[in-house]
Structure 1
């Protein structure tokens, strides 16, 4: 019965998500939960300008300067995504709960001013786990896993690695991504 109901309702969920988020093409996320998230986002106004589904506890600043890839940054709860200097997120990048992507920093001599910087770039098939922080101008190579609580202050271009610690450093090499 449950499967029959899902088959019956799924086309309406798909249409609803396409209407609310026309640029969000990841059909794996076309679920009732995402539809409710989108309705809340567009009607209530939390992250209203964001073109992909965002959890109501997440904050996205300057979404127009973010290229989100196939997964939706901010989909997990409590994320802070500041795209004022730009963020490029590759395909199949998973963003865990309470992750912070901060592309802009304050001027150290005048806290009312912000520094211009290069965008954050996250390589495809990467995983940003709970409570990690990625700071301005960081570029991560393909298949990079950032461990929980790590603070990434510099770029790691090679890929196929696990980063951890404060500040982050390579703690493990990985074989190429298989998914």
Structure 2
């Protein structure tokens, strides 16, 4: 009985949500074999589509997150979980944020592609892309600054400020500024 109810819920959700969100995002592990993605959609509707937080974003994103420009955000729909946390700040009005497959972003993480100019705060520096490799994990309350490249399987410790790139990956970094604490095999 429970399996039948879940299948009905998924089919009703698929029909309704495809009118509110872009179908290319309503697929993958959270939608094809799970009801979790559909529950995210239902949870996001009121604040996102009616109240207006992140209204123009064509995929379900929690109102507790801030996405500057969804067109500059590149990710796999299998990683839709990264937009359901709270307090994440994807500041990418100019400059791209690229999340590698299987990467996890914890709550309260800031990914910033452009900073203010020192001495002229009314203007900004040139935007620089942020690229996170596959299977990275960015711990809670971390900040990743413009132009950062993290190689595959980089773990960023909670509360870190990443001011330089670690393109080789396979490491644990932490601190302010972040530095390598451990190499991974």
| Kept after mapping to 2: 8 A contact 1:119/1:137 | yes
Using structure 2 for the length normalisation, give the TM-score.
Answer: 0.86
Match of 2:178 among 136, 147, 168: 168
**Runs of at least 4 residues off by over 3 Å:** 15-19
Q: Distance in 2 between matches of 1:144 and 1:15?
A: 38
| Kept after mapping to 1: 8 A contact 2:44/2:63 | no
Q: Which residue of 1 aligns with 2:45?
A: 39
Match of 2:158 among 138, 148, 152: 148
**Local SS of the residue matching 1:43:** helix
Q: Which shows bigger deviation, 24-33 or 44-53?
A: 24-33
Give matches, 1:61-140, under 5 Å: 61-70=68-77, 71-72=79-80, 73-84=82-93, 85-140=95-150
> Cα deviations across residues 44-88 of structure 1 (Å, max 9, x unaligned)?
211012232211111111222111233134321111110122211
Q: Distance in 2 between matches of 1:128 and 1:15?
A: 34
Between Structure 1 and Structure 2, the one with more helix by share is 2
Q: Which residue of 1 aligns with 2:4?
A: 4
Match of 1:159 among 165, 169, 184: 169
